[in-house]
Amino acid sequence: MWFIYLLPVFFVVTKLTRPLPPLAIWALAAALEMMHIGTGWTVIDEFCAALVISIPAICLRLRVRAVRSCAGRPVLALAGLALWA
């Protein structure tokens, strides 16, 4: 259940990194994960290890909103899914 107390931390980091390009955020997260940071503080250690896992959700938020906006138009939604596939 380590992710429960990290959710607010991810939320704050997501808000603070909005202006940055997604590739820069991912590179930083990958570097933090590869460093295997071990401070002894679970929040910091798990954040550095798990940020790279949450980056796709952060970077794909606009695409998810676009798909959600097609909920009332099934033909458009199916066309978008077919294009994606």
Residue entry with tokens 């959710």: 7
Residue 1, domain member (yes or no): no
Q: Is the pLDDT of residue 65 over 80?
A: no
Q: Looking at residue 62, what is its pLDDT?
A: 63
Q: What is the CA radius of gyration of the chain?
A: 16
Rounded Cα distance, 1 and 67, in Å:
30
**Between 40 and 71, whose confidence is greater?**
40
Q: Tell me which residue of 7, 48, 6 sits closest to 30, measured CA to CA.
A: 48
- Full residue range of the structural domain in which residue 47 is found: 8-84
Residue 2, domain member (yes or no): no
Give Cβ neighbours of residue 13 (< 8 Å, ≥ 6 apart).
51
Do 40 and 51 form a contact (C-beta atoms < 8 A)?
no
Residue 63, domain member (yes or no): yes
Number of domains into which the chain is organized: 1
